[in-house]
Chains A and B, each alone.
Chain A
Amino acid sequence: MTKQKMFLRMITASLVRRRSRMLVALLAIAVGATILSGLVTIYYDVPRQMGAEFRNYGANMILVPSGNDAAFNMDAVEETLGYIKPDQLVGVAPYRYETVRIHEQPIVAAGTDMEGAKATSPYWHINGAWPDAAGDILLGQKVADQLGLKPGDTLTVSYAAEEAEPAAEPKTDAQAGETNRLDAASQAEGQEESGADEAQTTGEDYVPDASLDMMVTGILETGGSEEEYVYLSMEDLNGLTGGSDKLDVVELSVSADQSELKQYGSDIENNVDDVTPRLVKRVTESESTVLTKLQALVFLVTAVVLVLTMICVATTMTAAVTERRKEIGLRKALGASNRSIIGEFMGEGLLLGGVGGLIGAGLGFAFAQAVSMKVFNSSITFQPLLLPVTIVVSVLVAGCACLLPVKSATEVDPAVVLKGE
C-alpha cells in the first residue's frame, strides 16, 4: 500500500468512524461559511437594491432647453436617452406647461406621459384613478378645492394663444414647473403672478381659441406645488394648443450614483445640442450621503459578524481536535513522526473546511436570495468570485483551528498524553 493511499484511508476512516463528532465540526464550518457568503453577497448588492428604493424620491436629472429661446421635442429626448444605460433608467416623464382656463379661471396645465409620471414620481398620492384615456384629467388638490371638483366630474378646458404668451418663455416656466416641486412650499407665485397679471388684463375680452371637455379621474396630493396644476395627457394638450410638440422640461429618474450621473450629464451636454441636463442636487446629494452611511453600516455589521463567527468556528474545531490528544499520543508511541501526524490532522481539517465551505456558499446564496426577495422584491446577483473565496476562507479557518491543538499535542511526551494529564 502506498503512502498516499494509507493517508487517504486514515483520513476517511477517521471521518467515517467518528461520524457524529465530525458532523458537529462540519456543521460549525458550514454555518460560518453560510454567514460569510450570505452577508458578503448582501453587502455587495445592497447599494444597488437600496439605490432603487431611493428612486422613490423622484427625478434626479432634468432636461431643459439649451438657451432661453430654444425648444426641444421628443426626438431630442430619444437621442439623450441613448447615452444612459437602459437598465438604469427608471422613468422618463416629459412635461409641457401651458396656461389654460377652467371655469373661467387661469390655471397652469401640464401635459405629460402618465406612465412616465407614475415612474418618476412614485410619491404622488392620487385620490381616484390615474388618467388612462384621452379626455381624462388629473387635478391638483388645491385646484380641486378652488373649483369644487371631485373625481367623476366633468369640466371644460379652454385655451387662448395670446393668453399663453407670458408663459411662452419656456425656461422660466419649465423651472417653475419642475423645480418648485422639489421645494417644500408653494413657491410658484413668483412666476405665476406675471401670468396672472396678463390674465387679468386680457380677462374681460377672453376668447378661447380651442376648448375640450374632460373628465376628472383623480385628485393629486403631494404637499408640494404640483397641487396647483392640472395634468392631462400630452396628446390632449397638444391637440388643445394646436399641434406643436415642444417640451418645457423632461424629468429623468436614473438608478445611478452621483459620479455616474455627472458623467451622463457631461456626455449629454457635449453631444446633444437642444437640451441641457441638470442634476437635481437635493436628490442626488442627499442620496449619496444616506447611501454611504447605509453601506458603511452593512459593511461594519458584516465585518463584526464575520470575525465573531470565524472565531466561533475556530473554537469548535479546536475543541474537536483537543479531545483527540490521546489518539495523537498513541500514534506517537507507535512511532509516527510529528510531520505525518500534523499532515493527517490537517488533511482532515482541510477536507472538512472544503466541504463545509461548499455547503455554506450554497446556503449563503440561498439566504441572500431569500432576503433580497423579501426585502426588495428582486433577485440578487450571484457573485462567482465568492464561491472560491468562501471555500478558501473556510479551509484556512479550519486549518488554523486544527493546527494549534495538534502542534501542542505532538510536542508533549506521548507517555504524558496517554496517561491523561
Chain B
Amino acid sequence: MFFRMIRGAFVRQKGKMLMIALTIALGASLATAMLNVMLDVGDKINQELKTYGANITVVPKSSSVLNNLYEVEGGEEAQEAFLREDELGKIKTIFWAFNIVDFAPFIDTTADLDSGEEVRLVGTWFNHHLDLPTGEMLDTGVANLRTWWDISDGVWLDEQAESDPNAAMIGAMVARREGVGAGDTLHVKTRYGEADLKVVGVFDAGSDEDEEIYAPMDLVQALSDTDGYLTSIEVSALTTPDNELAIKAAKDPSALSVSQYETWYCTAYVSSICYQIQEVITDSVASPVRQVADSEGAILEKTEFLMVLITILSLVGSGLGICNLVTASVMERSNEIGLLKAIGAKDSAISGIVLTEIVLTGIVGAVIGYFVGFGFAQIIGHTVFGSSIEMKAMVIPIVAMLTVAVTLAGSIPAIRMLLRLRPAEVLHGR
C-alpha cells in the first residue's frame, strides 16, 4: 500500500515532482561544479604560477661568489666546484619527481667578441629531450623557464630541430651593440677556443640577461673546458605553501621527530623538495628562490581561500533555494494531508509517505545534478586553464549528504506544521 501510494504520487503529480527534481538538480550541479573547481583550483593556479620561472636553484656546495673572487686568476679547474651533468636526470627520480615541472642546467663563462667587448656566455638546454632512467621522456629547458622573454628578432632556438651545433640566442643589448640580428654570425673567443655563433633569435628579457649570450650546453662546455660539468641548475617545482613544520624543517631537518620528519619529507614543501634534490645531486646546495617561492605561497593561499568562500556562498544559496521549494511544495499538499488524517492515517505514516517521495525525488535530482555540475566544472577548467578539472571522489558524498540534509530540512518543519492542523479546517480550506 505504502509503495502504491508513493508510485501513485509520482505518476499523478508528474509535473510538480519534475519541478522539485529540477530545482534539486540545479542546486546539486552548482554544488558539484563549485566543489570540484574549488578542490582543483590550487593545482591549476600553481601551474599558472610556473610562468614566474624557477623556484629552486641548485649550486655546488663549496661554490660561493666570495670564494670565486679569489680563484678567478688561476687554478680554476682545481678550485672551482661544479655539479655533474650526468646526474641531472636524477632530479626526476626523487620522491616528489612528479612535482618537478621543468629544470634547466647552466654553465657560465666569459667570452670576448671581435669588438673587444667581454660578454657572458651561458650554456644551457633550450628544449632538451631527456630519456629518464624510469623510462619516461621529458622536454625541458629555458624555453619553459623564461616565458617572459620577448623574442624581438628570429625565433626561440629549437634544440631538437636545429642542426647547427653553433646556434645561439643573444640578448637585445648585445645585438644592438654588435649590430647583429637573427641569421647573422657572431664570433666569440674564450681562453680555450673560439666559435662562430649562428644567431637564431634575439631576446628582450628586461634584465641583465639582455647582456648575455645563450648557447647550447655542449658548445659552451667545450669553450670553457668544463665538459660534463655545470655551474647551476634551475628547478621549477609545484610546491605546497610553507607552514610551521616546513619552516622548522628548513632550518634543520635533523631537529624533527621521526613522525614529523616523515610528514615533512612526504609533503611537497619547497624545503623538502630542496632536501631531496640535495640527496641525489652530489655536493650540491639547493635553495628556494624566496621571491618566487614565497609569493607563490601567498597567492595560492588567497586564491584557494577566495574560492572556498565563494563555494560556501553558492552552497548556502543553493541549499536555501532547494529548502524553499521543498517547503512550498509540501505546504501546498495541505488538502491531501488533511484528507489522509480524516480517513484515519497516523502522523508517522503521513510523514513517511511525504518524506519518502521528497527524498526519492531529491536523489534523482542530485544524480542528474552531479553530472551536469561536473560538466560545468569542465567548461570552467577548459575555458580558463585549458585543461580538465580532476574528478574528486570526495565531492560525491558531500553532494549526496548536502542534498538529503537540505531536502529533509526543507520538508520536516512543513510536515510538522501541517500535521498540527485539524483535518476539518484544512479540508474546509480555512
Contacts and interface: CB of A to CB of B under 8 A. Distances in A.
Interface stretch (B191-199, B259-267, B378-386, B396-404): B378-386
Contact of A371 (B293, B309, B327, B380): B309
B174 interface: no
A183 B290 CA distance: 11
B211 A31 contact: no
Nearest to A107: B66
B19 interface: yes
B204 interface: yes
B38 to A, nearest CB: 9
Interface stretch (B94-102, B215-223, B296-304, B352-360): B296-304
B57 interface: yes
Interface in A25-50: 25, 27-28, 31-32, 34-35, 38-39, 42, 46, 50
A290 B49 contact: yes
Interface in B11-50: 16, 19, 22-23, 26-27, 29-30, 33-34, 37, 41, 45, 48-49
A180 to B, nearest CB: 7
A285 B307 CA distance: 24
Contacts of B30: 304-305, 308-309, 312
B52 interface: yes
Interface in B287-345: 287-295, 298-299, 302-303, 305-307, 309-310, 313-314, 316-318, 320-322, 324-325, 327-329, 331-332
A331 interface: no
Contacts of B207: 175, 179, 182-183, 280-282
Interface in B129-161: 147-150
Given A280-B207, A282-B207, A289-B48, A188 B317 contact: no
30 contacts: A25-B324, A27-B324, A31-B316, A32-B321, A53-B299, A56-B298, A179-B208, A180-B208, A186-B64, A224-B291, A228-B66, A282-B148, A282-B207, A285-B148, A289-B51, A297-B41, A304-B30, A304-B379, A309-B314, A312-B26, A312-B27, A312-B325, A315-B23, A319-B19, A319-B328, A320-B328, A374-B305, A375-B306, A375-B309, A376-B302
- Ranked nearest first, the 10 interchain pairs of A and B with the lowest CB-CB distance are A281-B206, A285-B148, A56-B295, A179-B207, A312-B321, A196-B69, A323-B332, A179-B208, A185-B232, A223-B289
Contact of B65 (A125, A189, A294, A304): A189
Nearest to B150: A281
Contacts of A311: 26
A286 B148 contact: yes
A186 B205 contact: no
Interface in B146-187: 147-150
Interface of B: 16, 19, 22-23, 26-27, 29-30, 33-34, 37, 41, 45, 48-49, 51-54, 56-57, 59, 64-70, 72-73, 106, 108, 110, 120, 147-150, 204-209, 211, 231-232, 234, 287-295, 298-299, 302-303, 305-307, 309-310, 313-314, 316-318, 320-322, 324-325, 327-329, 331-332, 376, 379-380, 383-385
A268 interface: no
Contacts of A142: 64-66
Interface string A259-295: 0000000000000000000111111111001100110
B19 A315 contact: yes
B310 A190 contact: no
Contact of B66 (A35, A143, A176, A316): A143
Given A319-B329, A323-B328, 14 more contacts: A34-B313, A53-B298, A56-B295, A57-B291, A107-B66, A186-B57, A196-B70, A280-B207, A281-B205, A294-B303, A304-B376, A312-B321, A315-B19, A375-B305
B290 A124 contact: yes
B302 A53 contact: yes
B155 to A, nearest CB: 18
A181 interface: yes
Given A142-B64, A309-B317, A57 B52 contact: yes
Contact of A50 (B57, B67, B120, B299): B299
A237 to B, nearest CB: 20
Given A32-B317, A189-B108, A281 B204 contact: yes
Contact of A146 (B23, B64, B299, B303): B64
Contacts of B22: 315
A54 interface: yes
Nearest to B369: A308
Nearest to B206: A281
B62 to A, nearest CB: 11
A175 B173 CA distance: 12
Contacts of B106: 185
A300 B324 contact: no
A255 interface: no
Contacts of B66: 105, 107, 142-143, 146, 228
Nearest to A305: B314
A316 B324 contact: yes
Given A189-B108, A315-B325, A300 B379 contact: yes
Interface string A52-80: 01101110000000000000000000000
A408 B210 CA distance: 72
A164 B208 CA distance: 21
Contacts of B292: 57, 184
A320 B326 CA distance: 11
Nearest to A287: B52
Interface string A4-43: 0000000000000000110011011001101100110010
Nearest to A313: B321
Given A281-B150, A312-B26, A185 B51 contact: no
A284 to B, nearest CB: 8
Contacts of A179: 207-209
A200 interface: yes
Interface in A171-202: 175-176, 178-190, 192-193, 196-197, 199-200
